[in-house]
Amino acid sequence: MKKNPSLIGLLSVCGLAVLVFLFYNVFLNKKDGYVIGNPSNKTIIININNKNYTVAPQQQARVELPKGKTKIVYTFNNKTTDTVVEITRGNGFINPTRQEYITFTRPYGIRKNKDSIFLSNHLSIDDKVYQGILEKSSQLYIENFYYNIDQDYPKMFIKSSGSEKATDLSKIFNKEDFKQFYFENYE
């Protein structure tokens, strides 16, 4: 049988496309979405847009939500909350227990005075000062981050060449997870 260069080229291109697709899905793909967190020792039943979600103690649940106004109703510690929040981003965190969460912004890439920018910002958590671009929140709905609580910062970050724009990626943490992350990466 004679070798067909066109067929070999087509198979090579298809194989390379499959490898690129797999690499993207394993290392680079980030699934946006909304998470309900329950750091308490009680089960929480939360009604969002007339649909009930049950979140077990010390667990999180991903939910699909449309952008726009969202009605949230739940009872926690004998206090009923019935409110509407505005969803404007592709990522969000619903905090029915009103626990304190930390949003940490990590700079990626080369920029002038990156260390001084990092050191000039700080936040005190449990009487300890943490350096960096940090924000505390105990609001019911939080969406000022890029990576949700159930996602990790990427091990590698690919930035397009020629782009001089600074890239800062933020992630939301519960307080204890943030302390551990900070200890492992910055102390």
Tens digits of residue pLDDT in 106-127: 876 665 665 565 667 788 888 8
pLDDT below 50 — which residues of the chain? Answer: none
Would you state the pLDDT for residue 30? 65
- Pairing type for strands 59-63 and 128-131 reads unpaired
Q: Which residues of 137-158 are buried (b: 16+ CB within 10 A; e: fewer)?
A: beebbbbebbbbbebeeeeeee
Residue with tokens 């739940």: 74
- Residue-range domain boundaries for the chain: 30-158+165-186
Would you state the pLDDT for residue 25? 66
Model confidence, pTM: 0.76
Would you state the pLDDT for residue 112? 61
Q: Where are the beta strands (DSSP E) in the chain?
A: 34-38, 44-48, 51-55, 59-63, 68-76, 79-87, 92-94, 101-108, 122-125, 128-131, 133-137, 141-142, 167-174
Burial label for 80, CB within 10 Å (0-12, 13-18, 19+), is exposed
